[in-house]
Amino acid sequence: MAVAGQQSRASHSFTLPDLDYDYGELEPAISGEIMKLHHTKHHQTYITNFVKALEQLEQAEKDGNAEAIVKLQGAINFNGGGHVNHSIFWKNLAPSKSGGGEPPEGKLASAIKDEFGSLEKLIAKMNADGAALQGSGWVWLGLNKDLKQLAVQTTANQDPLASKGLVPLLGIDVWEHAYYLQAWTDYKNVKPDYLKNIWKVINWSDVSSRYEANL
Protein backbone atom coordinates (compact mmCIF):
# COMPACT_ATOMS: atom_id res chain seq x y z
CA MET A 1 0.00 0.00 0.00
CA ALA A 2 1.21 3.49 -0.75
CA VAL A 3 2.82 5.37 2.08
CA ALA A 4 1.56 8.77 3.22
CA GLY A 5 3.82 11.48 1.92
CA GLN A 6 5.01 9.42 -1.02
CA GLN A 7 5.70 11.63 -4.04
CA SER A 8 3.17 10.07 -6.35
CA ARG A 9 0.38 7.57 -6.20
CA ALA A 10 0.25 7.32 -9.96
CA SER A 11 -2.08 4.71 -11.39
CA HIS A 12 0.82 2.51 -12.47
CA SER A 13 1.60 1.81 -8.81
CA PHE A 14 -1.20 -0.74 -8.76
CA THR A 15 -1.94 -2.72 -11.87
CA LEU A 16 -3.87 -5.85 -12.71
CA PRO A 17 -1.53 -8.83 -12.28
CA ASP A 18 -1.25 -11.30 -15.15
CA LEU A 19 -2.56 -14.78 -14.51
CA ASP A 20 -0.24 -17.78 -14.77
CA TYR A 21 -2.85 -19.63 -16.87
CA ASP A 22 -5.48 -18.93 -19.53
CA TYR A 23 -9.02 -18.11 -18.45
CA GLY A 24 -10.42 -21.38 -19.79
CA GLU A 25 -7.81 -23.62 -18.20
CA LEU A 26 -9.63 -23.96 -14.86
CA GLU A 27 -12.71 -25.45 -16.55
CA PRO A 28 -14.89 -27.23 -15.69
CA ALA A 29 -14.38 -26.16 -12.04
CA ILE A 30 -14.52 -22.46 -12.95
CA SER A 31 -15.78 -21.34 -16.35
CA GLY A 32 -13.48 -19.32 -18.59
CA GLU A 33 -16.16 -16.69 -18.96
CA ILE A 34 -16.32 -16.15 -15.21
CA MET A 35 -12.56 -16.06 -14.91
CA LYS A 36 -12.30 -13.41 -17.61
CA LEU A 37 -15.01 -11.21 -16.08
CA HIS A 38 -13.70 -11.74 -12.56
CA HIS A 39 -10.16 -10.76 -13.55
CA THR A 40 -10.68 -8.01 -16.14
CA LYS A 41 -13.81 -6.40 -14.70
CA HIS A 42 -14.12 -7.09 -10.98
CA HIS A 43 -10.47 -7.08 -9.98
CA GLN A 44 -9.70 -4.19 -12.34
CA THR A 45 -12.53 -2.16 -10.78
CA TYR A 46 -11.09 -2.64 -7.29
CA ILE A 47 -7.73 -1.37 -8.55
CA THR A 48 -9.26 1.59 -10.38
CA ASN A 49 -11.26 2.64 -7.33
CA PHE A 50 -8.33 2.03 -4.97
CA VAL A 51 -6.10 4.33 -7.03
CA LYS A 52 -8.87 6.92 -7.23
CA ALA A 53 -9.32 6.87 -3.44
CA LEU A 54 -5.55 7.16 -2.91
CA GLU A 55 -5.40 10.17 -5.21
CA GLN A 56 -8.26 11.76 -3.29
CA LEU A 57 -6.42 10.97 -0.06
CA GLU A 58 -3.32 12.69 -1.36
CA GLN A 59 -5.36 15.79 -2.15
CA ALA A 60 -7.10 15.67 1.25
CA GLU A 61 -3.70 15.43 2.94
CA LYS A 62 -2.45 18.43 0.95
CA ASP A 63 -5.58 20.32 1.95
CA GLY A 64 -5.23 19.28 5.59
CA ASN A 65 -8.82 18.05 5.42
CA ALA A 66 -9.10 15.55 8.27
CA GLU A 67 -12.78 14.86 7.65
CA ALA A 68 -12.14 13.92 4.03
CA ILE A 69 -9.19 11.71 5.05
CA VAL A 70 -11.35 9.79 7.53
CA LYS A 71 -14.19 9.49 5.02
CA LEU A 72 -11.86 7.89 2.44
CA GLN A 73 -10.79 5.03 4.70
CA GLY A 74 -13.80 2.88 3.80
CA ALA A 75 -13.12 3.10 0.06
CA ILE A 76 -9.40 2.48 0.58
CA ASN A 77 -10.01 -0.58 2.75
CA PHE A 78 -12.67 -2.06 0.48
CA ASN A 79 -10.94 -1.55 -2.85
CA GLY A 80 -7.41 -2.08 -1.54
CA GLY A 81 -8.63 -5.26 0.16
CA GLY A 82 -10.22 -6.38 -3.10
CA HIS A 83 -6.89 -5.96 -4.86
CA VAL A 84 -4.94 -7.76 -2.12
CA ASN A 85 -7.40 -10.65 -1.87
CA HIS A 86 -7.79 -11.29 -5.60
CA SER A 87 -4.03 -11.12 -6.15
CA ILE A 88 -3.68 -14.02 -3.69
CA PHE A 89 -6.68 -15.90 -5.11
CA TRP A 90 -5.32 -16.07 -8.68
CA LYS A 91 -2.04 -17.53 -7.39
CA ASN A 92 -3.93 -20.03 -5.22
CA LEU A 93 -5.43 -21.54 -8.38
CA ALA A 94 -3.83 -23.68 -11.08
CA PRO A 95 -5.05 -25.86 -13.94
CA SER A 96 -4.83 -29.58 -13.24
CA LYS A 97 -2.10 -29.93 -15.89
CA SER A 98 0.01 -27.56 -13.77
CA GLY A 99 -0.62 -29.39 -10.52
CA GLY A 100 -3.98 -27.88 -9.57
CA GLY A 101 -5.80 -30.14 -7.13
CA GLU A 102 -2.74 -32.18 -6.21
CA PRO A 103 -2.70 -32.55 -2.41
CA PRO A 104 -0.15 -30.62 -0.37
CA GLU A 105 3.09 -32.27 0.69
CA GLY A 106 5.78 -31.70 3.30
CA LYS A 107 5.40 -29.32 6.23
CA LEU A 108 2.01 -27.98 5.19
CA ALA A 109 0.57 -31.49 4.80
CA SER A 110 1.79 -32.37 8.31
CA ALA A 111 0.41 -29.15 9.79
CA ILE A 112 -3.00 -29.74 8.19
CA LYS A 113 -3.09 -33.26 9.61
CA ASP A 114 -2.10 -32.01 13.08
CA GLU A 115 -4.63 -29.17 13.13
CA PHE A 116 -7.63 -30.61 11.29
CA GLY A 117 -7.12 -34.39 11.28
CA SER A 118 -6.91 -34.68 7.50
CA LEU A 119 -7.03 -32.66 4.29
CA GLU A 120 -10.58 -33.89 3.73
CA LYS A 121 -11.64 -32.49 7.10
CA LEU A 122 -10.05 -29.13 6.34
CA ILE A 123 -11.85 -29.00 2.99
CA ALA A 124 -15.16 -29.94 4.63
CA LYS A 125 -14.70 -27.17 7.22
CA MET A 126 -13.83 -24.52 4.64
CA ASN A 127 -16.76 -25.58 2.45
CA ALA A 128 -19.19 -25.48 5.39
CA ASP A 129 -17.92 -22.11 6.65
CA GLY A 130 -17.91 -20.67 3.13
CA ALA A 131 -21.44 -21.91 2.42
CA ALA A 132 -22.67 -20.49 5.74
CA LEU A 133 -21.14 -17.06 5.14
CA GLN A 134 -23.90 -14.48 4.98
CA GLY A 135 -23.51 -11.95 2.20
CA SER A 136 -20.24 -11.45 0.35
CA GLY A 137 -16.85 -12.50 1.63
CA TRP A 138 -14.02 -14.98 1.70
CA VAL A 139 -13.14 -18.22 3.46
CA TRP A 140 -9.47 -18.62 4.29
CA LEU A 141 -6.83 -20.98 5.49
CA GLY A 142 -4.53 -18.73 7.45
CA LEU A 143 -1.54 -18.93 9.72
CA ASN A 144 -1.29 -17.54 13.22
CA LYS A 145 2.41 -16.66 13.16
CA ASP A 146 2.71 -16.28 16.93
CA LEU A 147 1.24 -19.69 17.67
CA LYS A 148 2.55 -21.22 14.42
CA GLN A 149 -0.94 -22.63 14.02
CA LEU A 150 -3.23 -23.01 11.02
CA ALA A 151 -6.74 -21.61 11.24
CA VAL A 152 -9.87 -21.41 9.10
CA GLN A 153 -11.47 -17.99 9.13
CA THR A 154 -14.02 -16.06 7.12
CA THR A 155 -13.88 -12.35 6.29
CA ALA A 156 -16.73 -10.11 5.18
CA ASN A 157 -16.76 -8.11 1.95
CA GLN A 158 -13.13 -7.41 0.97
CA ASP A 159 -11.60 -7.34 4.43
CA PRO A 160 -8.13 -8.86 4.14
CA LEU A 161 -7.27 -11.79 6.41
CA ALA A 162 -4.67 -9.61 8.13
CA SER A 163 -7.66 -7.86 9.76
CA LYS A 164 -8.12 -11.08 11.78
CA GLY A 165 -4.45 -11.29 12.70
CA LEU A 166 -3.70 -14.17 10.32
CA VAL A 167 -1.34 -14.55 7.37
CA PRO A 168 -3.33 -15.57 4.27
CA LEU A 169 -2.26 -18.89 2.76
CA LEU A 170 -5.36 -19.86 0.77
CA GLY A 171 -8.35 -17.67 0.07
CA ILE A 172 -11.56 -18.76 -1.61
CA ASP A 173 -13.71 -16.00 -3.01
CA VAL A 174 -17.33 -16.66 -2.07
CA TRP A 175 -18.77 -13.53 -3.59
CA GLU A 176 -21.54 -14.34 -6.05
CA HIS A 177 -19.44 -12.78 -8.81
CA ALA A 178 -17.07 -15.74 -8.47
CA TYR A 179 -19.61 -18.33 -9.59
CA TYR A 180 -23.02 -16.83 -10.51
CA LEU A 181 -22.76 -17.51 -14.25
CA GLN A 182 -22.50 -21.22 -13.54
CA ALA A 183 -25.90 -21.10 -11.83
CA TRP A 184 -27.60 -21.53 -15.18
CA THR A 185 -25.34 -24.25 -16.50
CA ASP A 186 -23.41 -26.82 -14.50
CA TYR A 187 -24.04 -25.86 -10.87
CA LYS A 188 -27.51 -26.62 -9.50
CA ASN A 189 -26.70 -25.83 -5.85
CA VAL A 190 -24.53 -23.00 -6.97
CA LYS A 191 -22.45 -21.99 -3.98
CA PRO A 192 -21.92 -25.50 -2.50
CA ASP A 193 -21.12 -26.90 -5.97
CA TYR A 194 -18.64 -24.11 -6.62
CA LEU A 195 -16.96 -24.76 -3.27
CA LYS A 196 -16.92 -28.52 -3.84
CA ASN A 197 -15.33 -28.23 -7.28
CA ILE A 198 -12.81 -25.49 -6.67
CA TRP A 199 -10.56 -27.96 -4.83
CA LYS A 200 -9.81 -29.56 -8.22
CA VAL A 201 -7.90 -26.41 -9.17
CA ILE A 202 -6.30 -25.39 -5.87
CA ASN A 203 -2.59 -24.77 -6.22
CA TRP A 204 -1.35 -26.40 -3.02
CA SER A 205 2.22 -25.78 -4.08
CA ASP A 206 1.55 -22.02 -3.84
CA VAL A 207 -0.22 -22.48 -0.48
CA SER A 208 2.79 -24.48 0.81
CA SER A 209 5.21 -21.77 -0.32
CA ARG A 210 3.24 -19.12 1.57
CA TYR A 211 3.19 -21.35 4.66
CA GLU A 212 6.91 -22.11 4.63
CA ALA A 213 7.82 -18.46 3.96
CA ASN A 214 6.02 -17.48 7.18
CA LEU A 215 7.20 -20.15 9.59
Binding site for Fe ion (CB under 5 A): 173, 175
Residue 83 annotated as lining a ligand binding site: no
Cβ of residue 173: shortest distance to Fe ion, in angstroms? 4
- Give the Cβ contact number of residue 192 at 10 Å: 14
What whole-number distance in Å separates Cα of residue 106 and Cα of residue 5?
43
The residue (of 9 and 39) whose beta carbon lies closer to Fe ion is: 39
Strand duo 137-144 + 167-173: pairing: antiparallel
The residue (of 173 and 206) whose beta carbon lies closer to Fe ion is: 173
Residue 43 annotated as lining a ligand binding site: no
- Give the Cβ contact number of residue 143 at 10 Å: 23
Residue 193 annotated as lining a ligand binding site: no
Cβ of residue 135: shortest distance to Fe ion, in angstroms? 13
CB 17 within 8 A of CB 87: yes
The residue (of 56 and 153) whose beta carbon lies closer to Fe ion is: 153
The C-alpha angle 38, 43, 49, rounded to 5 degrees, equals 140
Cβ of residue 62: shortest distance to Fe ion, in angstroms? 33
Comparing every residue's Cβ against Fe ion, the nearest one is: 173
Q: Is 14 helix (H, G, I), strand (E, B) or coil?
A: coil
Cβ of residue 107: shortest distance to Fe ion, in angstroms? 29
Residue 177 annotated as lining a ligand binding site: yes
15 conformational bin, left if phi > 0, alpha if psi -120 to 50, beta if neither: beta
The residue (of 64 and 135) whose beta carbon lies closer to Fe ion is: 135
Residue type, position 145, single letter: K
Binding-site residues for Mn(2+) sit at: 38, 86, 173, 177
